[in-house]
């Protein structure tokens, strides 16, 4: 699992770097309004992910369970063929719907200011084709994660994201700085990456002379879990993307562009969290199959501490120093002034929600989907009215603050409900030892630095270096303060086995 964690962190970090590094170039070439179209496309992809029907999570879980089973090669191949057929059928339907609805979306939904209506319509139609090739990729990624081919998976992701980001910047520079050219390149890059996923996934499955086939029996067998996972994905996407869709209607596209920029930067935290989730979920699923409660608890708690040691220092640094970081990043004081408060709020919300991926992984590994499903249903009833009210009162900043309220609700309510059923004895240790220590140390170190440093829209390399240095110090102090890190260091210093290699009770983490 350690190798998978490292591979996922490197792969996801590179993907984040690619999306993060080229945003200023995209805005420079296209303008904020056209970049708003890219933000709309990102939200579109995320919302359509609900039509995944829970298949990517299911195939991840089932492939991981097959790893501890015997004589299941035929069932593995049939499972992939069955889910593949459903995925591509849904993808074709989605592409047709978006393509045919493009004039209506451009005319009646997007509030264009300077962008030409015909160009916006063509861009939306090109989005539809990108969706066709991007849509099936989570299925193959889920299969590779479950098969423990996560190093290979991340090699594909590194290549694909590099092709998308670097290639887009090159064509905007050499061909034409238009949003149409941008999406034409995305079609090519998504097609290449999708082909790599298909070939690699099928080659990772032993054939044994078996010809794969569509299996209604497997669908029936896995229907309940898939339906629960699909319900979670549906309402989760409504929650996480409703702000973008509502704001794309309520705000001018240029104003929405500021929010989309802040959202893309804040999303880097989620990428890091999903890197850990991708490694932890198959491991916990295998532990559930083997009925290894002690091992599951150890993985869950150590992963939570590891994630908190990274997310809290980085997330709080970006939130507290958002003005300086945005001004340095975009080289545009107007964009930084309009965006920094939005970014600060969104980063705090994403920080909390990123921590929550591990409780979710525990629930899904046990096949328990009801809690997250009903949690999301109830949250929608409160979140949408709140975001509408706060947006009308305070604009995009109000919408970003609503995101914090949603995340805090999950953190305070979901975890106690979960631990009434799963790993009952560790809830308060998870709150105070696994998460609370990292939060307290990071707030103390970075809050002190923020109080000392004067905010500025004209940061120098010295200022940015100081922020990076303070963040690094916060990460080091946080890591040393966490129980599992201290136990590991103590074991190394005493030439003993590190805690991660023992089978002692989870209380040894303290």
Backbone torsions φ then ψ of 291, nearest 5 degrees? 60, 40
Q: Is 266 a domain residue?
A: no
CA-nearest of 152, 445, 482, 506 to 307 is: 482
Token pair 């074709």 in the structure block, residue: 92
Q: Which residue has the tokens 């579109």?
A: 44
Angle between helix 137-146 and 253-289 (nearest 10)? 30
Residue 378 lies in a domain: yes
Q: Tell me if 137 sits within 8 A of 194, measured CB to CB.
A: yes
Exposed/middle/buried for 139, CB within 10 Å: 0-12, 13-18, 19+? buried
Is the alpha carbon torsion for 218, 221, 227, 228 positive or negative? negative
320 and 212 part of one domain: no
Count Cβ atoms within 10 A of the Cβ of residue 331 and give its class: 0-12 exposed, 13-18 middle, 19 or more buried: exposed
Asked if residue 176 and residue 86 are part of one domain, the reply reads yes
Give yes or no: residues 222 and 314 share one domain. Answer: no
CB-based contacts of 24: which residues, under 8 Å, 6+ apart? 329, 330, 331, 332
pLDDT of 318-329, one tens digit each? Answer: 999 999 999 988
Picking from 207, 228, 249, the residue at the C-terminal end of a domain is 228
Among residues 181, 201, 228, which one ends one of the domains? 228
> How many other C-beta atoms are found inside a 10 Å radius of the C-beta of residue 399?
27
Are 410 and 502 in the same domain?
A: yes
Q: What is each CA distance from 129 to 15, 111, 181, in whole angstroms?
A: 22, 23, 13
Looking at the structure, do residues 376 and 490 belong to the same domain, yes or no?
A: yes
pLDDT number for residue 382: 85
Residue 173 lies in a domain: yes
pLDDT recorded at residue 52: 61
Last residue within a domain, chosen from 203, 228, 253: 228
| pLDDT one-digit tens code per residue, 202-230 | 888 876 666 777 777 776 776 666 666 66
Interaxial angle between packed helices 2-21 and 23-30, expressed in degrees from 0 to 180 and rounded to the nearest 10: 20
Instruction: Please name the residue that has the structure tokens 């999306």.
Output: 19
Tens digit of each residue's pLDDT, the chain (510 residues): 667 777 777 777 787 778 777 777 888 888 777 777 887 787 777 666 656 666 677 777 777 766 555 556 677 778 888 888 888 888 898 889 889 988 888 887 777 777 778 888 888 899 889 988 988 888 888 888 888 788 888 899 889 989 988 998 899 888 888 888 999 999 999 999 999 999 998 888 876 666 777 777 776 776 666 666 666 666 666 666 667 767 877 777 777 778 888 887 888 777 778 778 877 887 888 788 788 888 889 989 988 998 899 899 999 999 999 999 999 888 888 888 888 999 999 999 999 999 998 998 899 888 887 888 888 888 888 888 888 888 888 888 888 999 999 899 889 999 999 998 898 888 999 999 899 999 999 999 999 999 999 888 888 889 999 999 999 999 999 988 888 777 777 776 666 554 443 333 333 333
Q: For residue 196, what are the CA distances in angstroms to 152, 199, 202, 444, 457?
A: 11, 5, 10, 46, 44
Give the chain's domain count: 2
Residues 84, 215, single domain; the answer is: yes
Q: Residue 340 sits in which domain range? A: 291-510
Does residue 165 contact residue 21 with C-beta atoms inside 8 Å?
yes
| 300: enclosing H helix or E strand | helix 293-320
Q: What are the tokens at 415?
A: 């975890």
CA distance 237 to 315: 22
pLDDT in the model for residue 509: 37
Q: Is 352 exposed, middle or buried (0-12, 13-18, 19+ CB in 10 A)?
A: buried
**By the 8 A CB rule, do 94 and 174 touch?**
no
- Answer yes or no: do 341 and 470 share one domain: yes
Residue 260 belongs to a domain: no
Judge if 296 and 222 occupy the same domain.
no
Spatial distance between the Cα atoms of 317 and 315, rounded to a whole number of angstroms: 5
Q: Please list the alpha-helical segments (H only) found in 175-215.
A: 179-203
CA distance 195 to 160: 11
pLDDT attached to residue 54: 64
Is residue 242 situated within a structural domain? no
Asked if residues 91 and 136 have their Cβ atoms less than 8 Å apart, the reply is yes
Q: Are 411 and 357 in contact (CB under 8 A)?
A: no
Residue 69: phi and psi, rounded to 5, are: -115, 170
Q: Report pTM.
A: 0.66
Alpha-carbon gap, residue 157 to 197, rounded angstroms: 9
């Amino acid at each position: 699992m350690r190798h998978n964690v490292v591979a996922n962190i490197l792969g996801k970090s590179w993907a984040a770097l690619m999306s993060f590094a080229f945003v200023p170039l995209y805005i420079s070439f296209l303008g904020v309004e056209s970049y708003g179209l890219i933000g709309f496309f990102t939200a579109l992809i995320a919302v359509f992910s609900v039509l995944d029907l829970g298949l990517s999570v299911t195939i991840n879980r089932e492939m991981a369970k097959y790893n501890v089973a015997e004589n299941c090669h035929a069932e593995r191949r049939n499972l992939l063929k069955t889910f593949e057929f459903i995925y591509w059928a849904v993808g074709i339907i989605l592409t047709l719907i978006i393509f045919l609805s493009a004039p209506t979306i451009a005319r009646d939904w997007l509030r264009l200011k300077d962008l030409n209506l015909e160009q916006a319509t063509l861009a939306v139609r090109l989005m539809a084709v990108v969706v066709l090739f991007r849509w099936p990729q989570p299925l193959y990624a889920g299969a590779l994660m479950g098969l423990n081919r996560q190093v290979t998976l991340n090699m594909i992701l590194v290549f694909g994201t590099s092709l998308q980001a670097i290639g887009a910047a090159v064509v905007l520079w050499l061909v034409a700085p238009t949003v149409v050219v941008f999406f034409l390149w995305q079609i090519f890059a998504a097609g290449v990456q999708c082909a790599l996923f298909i070939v690699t996934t099928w080659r990772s499955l032993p054939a044994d002379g078996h010809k794969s086939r569509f299996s209604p029996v497997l669908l029936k067998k896995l229907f309940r879990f898939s339906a629960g996972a699909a319900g979670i994905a549906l309402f989760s996407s409504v929650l996480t993307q409703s702000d973008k869709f509502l704001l794309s209607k309520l705000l001018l596209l240029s104003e929405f562009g500021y929010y989309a920029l802040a959202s893309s930067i804040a999303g880097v935290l989620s990428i890091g969290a999903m890197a850990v989730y991708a490694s932890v979920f198959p491991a916990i699923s295998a532990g559930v199959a083997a009925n290894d409660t002690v091992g599951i608890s150890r993985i869950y708690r150590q992963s939570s501490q590891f994630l908190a040691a990274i997310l809290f220092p980085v997330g709080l640094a970006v939130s507290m120093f958002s003005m300086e970081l945005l001004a340095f990043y975009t080289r545009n004081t107007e964009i930084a002034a309009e965006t920094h408060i939005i970014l600060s709020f969104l980063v705090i919300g994403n920080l909390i929600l990123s921590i929550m991926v591990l409780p979710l992984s525990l629930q899904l590994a046990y096949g328990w989907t009801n809690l997250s499903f009903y949690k999301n249903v109830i949250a929608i009833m409160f979140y949408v009215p709140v975001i509408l009210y706060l947006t009308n009162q305070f604009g995009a900043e109000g919408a970003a603050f609503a995101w914090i309220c949603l995340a805090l609700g999950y953190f305070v309510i979901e975890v106690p409900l979960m631990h009434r059923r799963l790993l009952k004895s560790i809830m308060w240790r998870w709150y105070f030892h696994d998460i609370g220590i990292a939060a307290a140390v990071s707030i103390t170190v970075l809050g002190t630095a923020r109080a000392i440093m004067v905010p500025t829209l004209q940061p120098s390399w010295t200022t940015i270096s100081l922020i990076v240095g303070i963040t690094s110090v916060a990460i080091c102090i946080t890591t040393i303060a966490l129980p599992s890190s201290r136990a590991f260091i103590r074991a190394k210093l005493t030439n003993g086995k590190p805690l991660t290699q023992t089978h002692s009770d989870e209380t040894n983490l303290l």
